[in-house]
Amino acid sequence: MSTLITNIGELVTNAPQAGPRPGGGTGSRAGQPPGAGSFAAIADAALVIEGGQVAWTGPAARAPAADEAVDAGGRAVLPGFVDSHAHLVFAGERGAEFAARMAGQPYRAGGIRTTVAATRNATDDQLRANLRRLAAELLAQGTTTFECKSGYGLTTADEQRSVALAAEVTPEVTYLGAHVVPPEFDGDPAGYVALVCGEMLTECAPHARWVDVFCEQGAFGPDEAAAILAAGAAAGLQARVHANQLGPGPGVQVAVAAGAASADHCTYLSDADVDALASSGTVATLLPGVEFSTRQPYPDALRLLAAGATVAIATDCNPGSCFTSSMALCIALAVREMRMTTEQAVWAATAGGARALRRADVGHLGAGARADLVMLDAPSHTYLAYRPGVPLTTAVWQAGHLVSGDRPAASASRGRGRGR
Ligand SMILES: [Zn+2]
């Protein structure tokens, strides 16, 4: 069974084989330095899905026949968003803390403890219901791959059930026992690190792919972080690090030294940090929703891009510092507040996220990619930033299956963005 989606106003492929289109228009353009991956798109395009994968992309006029056809009506089609940083296993909410922060109180890492208390008091079914609601919210907005962290349990039993629940909704599960030191270990942080590296890791590792640590003043220092990542690696988990969010610090260097897939936040970087990211396989994952929601300075994305670092954008969806699940909002912030081009921002939210999860099958629409697509009610990707806050996602495919939105009409009555 093959499906042809045709009359696509702009097809973002992020695939080099799309090549530059003679005559320009909204055709392919390099949005990233060589080696860091490139935005690429085809105007007036078509795409064929077969066996859950992308079988063909190219100009609509040259599209091959297929078993069924879908008319995109001139709308844009992009790779599904890849949200490589989210904290979705929790109970409770912190709306009052947000309101107080907007009234002038600063964000501190200790606020996490509020959610820890609520999460420990919740039943499995309450956590599962909240998690599934959020996962559905992501998917409906076009996020077809997402990472999900533990980190609001902070006991062996509560971390174990957090990663087990996360594994019900995504293969990209991260063990974040090292989120903060819980209250019962006040005065004994070494004892907590021993637990995180010992019994808690043993119970969580079978359900997780990744190990993460919040390396920051008020959370975990560089030696503790390195020890936790090393213990995780010994248990078969790959590293990622919350780094340099609240101030300058050792997080990025710890991440690069550990061969982490990603250093996340990267708000306060030294020249040495930028060099380390640019010369390593560690992706710089920027989370502009956090700076928006905590009213903090944004990371310097252009400095990282100019140095040749690979940049991803993710939501950091969590009940404390940033409670958005919208990759579209994060793209708009990256463009408006961090001065990324629309091409750079969309690449970072798709292919960049895939790099941060070391996934070659998502984040692009080259032949053989998983057929994860988001269709916008707009003629180009630019509208994600041009129309901030507007729900533009009209249909979402995951592995070739329409999983959200209505099947686009077979008629061409909304041809190619005329009048919009
Ligand atoms: Zn986070």
Give percent of the chain above pLDDT 90.
86
**Paired residues of 6 in beta bridges:** 71
Least confident of 95-104, 194-203, 394-403, 410-419: 410-419
Predicted confidence at residue 405, as pLDDT, reads: 85
Predicted confidence at residue 30, as pLDDT, reads: 37
Q: Which residues are CB-contacts of 309 (< 8 A; sequence separation ≥ 6)?
A: 36, 274, 277, 278, 283, 284
With residue 81 as reference, give the H or E element that holds it. strand 81-83
Q: How many angstroms separate the alpha carbon of residue 294 from the centre of ligand 1? A: 13
Task: Give residue-wise pLDDT tens across range 242-267.
Answer: 999 999 999 999 999 999 999 999 99
State the distance between the two ends of the chain, measured CA to CA, in whole angstroms.
Answer: 34
- Statement: residue 51 has pLDDT above 90: yes
* Cα 409 to chain centroid, rounded: 30
Q: How many angstroms separate the alpha carbon of residue 409 from the centre of ligand 1? A: 39
- Statement: residue 7 has pLDDT above 50: yes
Q: How many angstroms separate the alpha carbon of residue 11 from the centre of ligand 1? A: 31
63 or 412, which is more confident: 63
Mean pLDDT of 369-393: 98
One-letter amino acid at 192 equals Y
With residue 135 as reference, give the H or E element that holds it. helix 124-140
Count CB neighbours of 259 within 10 A. 13
With residue 375 as reference, give the H or E element that holds it. strand 373-376
Q: How many angstroms separate the alpha carbon of residue 213 from the centre of ligand 1? A: 10
Q: How many angstroms separate the alpha carbon of residue 159 from the centre of ligand 1? A: 16
- Statement: residue 417 has pLDDT above 90: no
Q: How many angstroms separate the alpha carbon of residue 21 from the centre of ligand 1? A: 39
Predicted confidence at residue 297, as pLDDT, reads: 96
Q: Which residues are CB-contacts of 84 (< 8 A; sequence separation ≥ 6)?
A: 146, 147, 172, 262, 283, 285, 312, 314, 353, 354, 356, 357
Are the C-beta atoms of 286 and 313 separated by less than 8 Å? yes
Mean pLDDT of 371-393: 98
| Average pLDDT value over all residues in the chain | 92
Spatial separation of the C-alpha atoms in residues 228 and 40, rounded to whole Å: 39
Q: How many angstroms separate the alpha carbon of residue 316 from the centre of ligand 1? A: 5
Q: How many angstroms separate the alpha carbon of residue 261 from the centre of ligand 1? A: 15
pTM of the complete model: 0.92
With residue 94 as reference, give the H or E element that holds it. none
Task: Give residue-wise pLDDT tens across range 337-365.
Answer: 999 999 999 999 999 999 999 999 999 99
Backbone angles phi, psi at 350, to 5 degrees: -125, -80
Task: Give residue-wise pLDDT tens across range 66-91.
Answer: 999 999 999 999 999 999 999 999 99
